[in-house]
Copies of this chain bind each other. A is one copy, B any other.
């Protein structure tokens, strides 16, 4: 049982996780909870019970509690598909949210829409709410956000709107190649060697096609020369982030960039940009997501 009931719940429901914050009416967090029941392992009929398992005890019995949710739960592979809003437009907010069917009367579920871009075709799946959280904390910000993750996003913001954005599957490729490919035995589970990393970034940026061969070279050097596993991991990460930086150059070159995220991926992007002479600002990803969900809730109740 919870000490206190929720006034509302903020939720970030991604492919690999469900994170939620139990909130009071003043916007203060009463509790934080997390489960690995992400959309990747749920069928549409499973969502309501997954949510109740994690947060049923904080729902007051006598009313419907708003649950403001961003992320993959609002996509075709999730609970229900929310039509995305087309850029340029302000990111996040409650506009366009849908209420999927629920049986428990204590739930007032709201799935927030992602963004879409026609050319090049692109979509966000929760990152729009994180971007909205950054804008709420930094009104008037004009520049570029870099959001590392399973898929990273680069978004150009101006006058409170997302002007354009691009997604890269770099994080997912890194996870698949380091854990499941021929490279797996060569690559450490953790650790980053800054010199090996930035050298690989520079190499990939100057010769992006060569990356196709450089990846196997990691395996060969490991076999033939006992390449250090942390160096191998750093080189794999650097090659993949380097090719992304080359493709995303119009986003960061000559721009003010902020990286939204914590941990090694955000550190890696910061180090890669620093090697290009660019000092990026930093923001906390979960904090920005909660900020964005707060802003959407404020619109709902305001």
Residues in chain A within 8 A of chain B (CB atoms):
15, 75-77, 84, 116-118, 120-123, 150-151, 166-170, 172-173, 176-177, 180-183, 185, 205, 208-217, 219-221, 223-225, 240, 243-244, 246-248
Q: Are B121 and A168 in contact (CB under 8 A)?
A: no
Q: Are A181 and B167 in contact (CB under 8 A)?
A: no
Q: Are B172 and A182 in contact (CB under 8 A)?
A: yes
CB distance from A10 to the nearest CB of B (A): 24
Q: Are B243 and A122 in contact (CB under 8 A)?
A: no
A243-B209, A247-B213 known; A123 and B176 CB under 8 Å? no
Q: Are B246 and A209 in contact (CB under 8 A)?
A: yes
A209-B208, A213-B166 known; A177 and B173 CB under 8 Å? yes
Complex CA–CA separation, A117 to B244 (angstroms): 29
Q: Are B120 and A168 in contact (CB under 8 A)?
A: no
- Which chain B positions have C-beta within 8 A of A121? 217, 220-221, 224-225
- Which chain B positions have C-beta within 8 A of A120? 213-214, 217, 220
Complex CA–CA separation, A84 to B223 (angstroms): 10
A121-B220, A167-B220, A173-B177 known; A150 and B209 CB under 8 Å? no
A176-B176, A246-B209 known; A169 and B123 CB under 8 Å? no
CB distance from A209 to the nearest CB of B (A): 4
- Which chain B positions have C-beta within 8 A of A180? 176, 180
Q: Are B169 and A223 in contact (CB under 8 A)?
A: no
Q: Are A212 and B244 in contact (CB under 8 A)?
A: yes
The residue in chain B whose Cβ has the minimal distance to the Cβ of A118 is: B224
The residue in chain B whose Cβ has the minimal distance to the Cβ of A75 is: B223
14 extra A-B contacts, CB within 8 A, seeds A120-B220, A123-B219, A213-B248: A121-B217, A121-B221, A121-B224, A122-B220, A151-B182, A167-B216, A167-B220, A168-B213, A170-B212, A176-B180, A205-B209, A209-B247, A211-B243, A212-B246
